[in-house]
Each structure stands twice: as structure tokens, then as C-alpha cells.
Homo-oligomer: A and B are copies of this chain.
């Protein structure tokens, strides 16, 4: 029985404490034992949660503890610390042991000038598999796929397939779920789940068990689209084909789970204006990942201030305007972000498409009017209680809130739809436009209405 850290008390913290204790004592044997006993995914997690200095010290002390399995589990930022501390031959041997998709991910993190040395220390066939991966674009099916798969011609019987697999032994992928049926030109024509093969008599023809392929993944398909296919059709694995429709590899769902998590992280951080940040980052890289969006926000905030400046005489005359205007802008900003988050998530999950975009926009418009009316009324009453009616402030607030909520709701959905239409990533660039609209419109609607009604 294995006992794994799945409870609330984070036994990982104690595992990490054990590692750092052994490190402090420079206890090589202790470190080797701890890293050997734990599952590779746990060791990878523990290394990730240490400081950069700690994990570098561990690798320096016991480089041999970093097994191929552990290496395959490490995240990019951790690989950057670990790889420079391992020998070319150790890395080359590890790469040869991994499935080709994992090997590719590790080679991606090798320094350019070292890549050649490591690759030349690998056996020719393994080396070729890795080099081939690099002919595909990053984040496409060709990079994510593994080259190891099991294929059979459709005239075979269940018995022949089983005998073939017994004969192949170690040449097969470590784990697989489907046998792909290919024709003489290597075009995949269908598949048979191995759980089906196992329950059939040996003489049964494979062609009788053939299931049609729901999806063939083109080699250059974006990994986000691949993930969508997996999630939509509940795929466990899918064949990857080249431009001639020949099967060149397969993608399995466990790799897709990582792709989904990565893409979700990217979208969520992009919505908050953070590019490409990880928690293993340093303070400096944190600054780098956040400064660009803050700089753009500074510009749009200054733009909004120009709007305020236009009305500075009015503010000086009625200082209550300065007190109330941030409320209107803030409400619009939040409503815009709400609409935007829903739209971006809908686009990512393909729930928001051309087929229902018009309906979605209409719904946002209707919702914005309702929300605008509700909160305009509430804020008008509060304004009346606070400042009285003397300056028509309740009316000003009421009108400005409705205008700003409508602009916020509409820009929250139209901006991402428009960006998508012109081929930009709506998750990355929408926020800028939506906040600009809600800030500028918020102040302008409020102060402009005030100027009209009051002066």
C-alpha cells in the first residue's frame, strides 16, 4: 500500500523539511534515499517549492538522484536550475529513456550551445525522434505528440494483434489504450480500444471491431484546439497525421490535462494583466511580467484624467462631483470585467460562437440596462440622502450610471468578439480596451451630465 500526500495538512511541507535538513547536513545518502522512495511527481513538486538556491544545492550534491522520471516531471523554470548541473551524458541517457514528448520538453529548456553536445551523446534513433519534434512549431500537435504508438493492418485477427504485442515487448509505448488501424499507406482508418480486443476471441477480425476515428489531429494544430477536441469527444488518445494524412504519432489525454491547465492559467493571468508568470519566479521577473500592463493602464488612467481635467471648473464649483465620480467609474469597470470574463471563458470553451454571438450581445445589452437601472436607482437614493437634491446630483448619478453600465456591458462582449474576429487572442488584449472604455466613459458621462444639468 502506498501512502500519498492527499490530505489537507500538506505533508509535502514535511517532506521538503526532511530534504532541506539532509541538505544542511550534506547527507548524500539521506537525500538519495528520500528522493528514491518518493514518487517522481512528488519529488518534482518538492523541488519546485524549494528556493532556487536550495534545489541547485541538492542537485550539486546528488546529481544522480535526478532520475529520468523526475526530469520528465519538472516544470520549465526548475529545469533551468537543474539541467546546467547535470552532465551531458546523464541528460542524454535520460532523454533516451523518456517517451519522445517528454524528451522534447526537456530539450526545449537546454541552452542552445549545449543542445548539440547532449543530442550527439544519444543513440542515433532516439536523437532523430527528438530532432524531428523540433521541426514542428511550439505549442502544436507535432510538439505535444509522442512518436510511439501501436498500429495494425485491418486484416489481422485479435490473436495476431496479441501475438504481435507479446513479440514486441519493450518496443511498445509504456502505456497505451487504443490500437490504431492503418492502411498500406499509413493512413489511419479507425481504432480499437484494447479493452475491446481483450474480451474478444482470438479468431475475431480486427476489421469487425473497428471504431471510426472521431478526430485526426493535423500535425500543425494548435495545442489549445487539440485540447478542445479531447474535452469535447472525451478522447483518451488521438492519432496525429502529417500533411499526407499519414499517421506520425499519437497524443494521450494525460498530456492534454497539462495543456488544459497551462492554457487556463494563461487566460486567467492574461485577464488580470499578468504575462507568463510562475511562482518559481524571482521578484525581478515578477516585475517584468506585470509592468507592461501597468504601463498601459497608466496611459489609460491618464486619458481618463484628461477627461476630468476638462471639467475641473465644475468640480471646483461642486466638490461633491469629485466625491461621487470614482463610484460611477468603479461600478462600470467592474461590470465591464464581469461581462469580459464571461465572454472570454465562453470563447475558450467554444460556448460563444458565431452561431450565438448576436444573441449573447443582445443578452448583455438587456442585462446591462437592468443592472444599470438597479444600481443607478440605489446610488441616486444614496446621493440624495448624502447631498440632498440641491445640485440635481441624484439625477446626474442616475443618468451616468445607466450610460456607463451599458457601455461596460457592450464593450465587455464586443471587444473580445472583435479581437477574435481579427485573429488576436481575446484573453490577452481585451482588458485594456474594456477598462479604457469604462474609465473614460464613466468620468465623461458623469461630469458631462453634471455640466449640462448643473451649469
Q: Tell whether A290 pairs with B349 under 8 Å between CB atoms, given A6-B221, A309-B323, A327-B298.
A: no
Residues in A304-341 with C-beta less than 8 Å from chain B: 304-305, 308-309, 312, 315-316, 319-327, 329-331, 334-335, 337-338, 340-341
Stretch from A84-92, A106-114, A123-131, A276-284 contacting the other chain:
A276-284
Q: Which of B169, B268, B274, B371 contacts A294 (CB 8 A)?
A: B371
Closest chain B CB from A435 CB (angstroms): 8
Complex Cα distance A301/B383, Å? 13
Closest chain B CB from A213 CB (angstroms): 6
A331 partner residues in chain B, CB cutoff 8 A: 294, 297-298, 301
Q: Does A194 belong to the interface (CB within 8 Å)?
A: yes
Q: Which of B213, B215, B284, B329 contacts A326 (CB 8 A)?
A: B329
Let me know if B334 and A297 touch, CB within 8 A: yes
The dominant DSSP class at the A interface is: helix
Q: Does A424 belong to the interface (CB within 8 Å)?
A: no
Let me know if A1 and B213 touch, CB within 8 A: yes
Let me know if B175 and A345 touch, CB within 8 A: no
Residues in A1-30 with C-beta less than 8 Å from chain B: 1-2, 4, 6, 10, 12-13, 16-17
Stretch from A58-66, A132-140, A353-361, A388-396 contacting the other chain:
A353-361
Q: Which of B199, B312, B353, B375 contacts A323 (CB 8 A)?
A: B312
Interface residues of A toward B: which range? 35 or more
Residues in A333-384 with C-beta less than 8 Å from chain B: 334-335, 337-338, 340-342, 344-346, 349-356, 359-360, 363-364, 366-367, 370-371, 374-375, 378-379, 382
Closest chain B CB from A11 CB (angstroms): 10
Copies assembled: 2
Q: Tell whether A308 pairs with B326 under 8 Å between CB atoms, given A49-B356, A342-B274.
A: yes
Q: Does A302 belong to the interface (CB within 8 Å)?
A: yes
Chain B: CB-nearest residue to A215 = B4
A176 partner residues in chain B, CB cutoff 8 A: 195
Complex Cα distance A346/B281, Å? 12
Let me know if B165 and A198 touch, CB within 8 A: yes
Q: Tell whether A353 pairs with B13 under 8 Å between CB atoms, given A319-B315, A326-B305.
A: yes
Complex Cα distance A231/B196, Å? 26
Q: Please provide the 9 A-B residue pairs with the shortest distance between their CB atoms, ordered closest to farther.
A: A272-B341, A283-B366, A322-B322, A286-B367, A234-B254, A264-B264, A165-B199, A301-B327, A13-B355
Residues of chain A touching chain B, judged by Cβ–Cβ distance below 8 Å, are 1-2, 4, 6, 10, 12-13, 16-17, 39, 41, 45, 48-51, 162, 165-166, 168-169, 172-173, 175-177, 189, 193-201, 212-215, 221, 225, 229-236, 253-254, 256-258, 260-261, 264-265, 267-269, 271-274, 277-284, 286-287, 290-291, 293-295, 297-298, 301-302, 304-305, 308-309, 312, 315-316, 319-327, 329-331, 334-335, 337-338, 340-342, 344-346, 349-356, 359-360, 363-364, 366-367, 370-371, 374-375, 378-379, 382, 439, 443
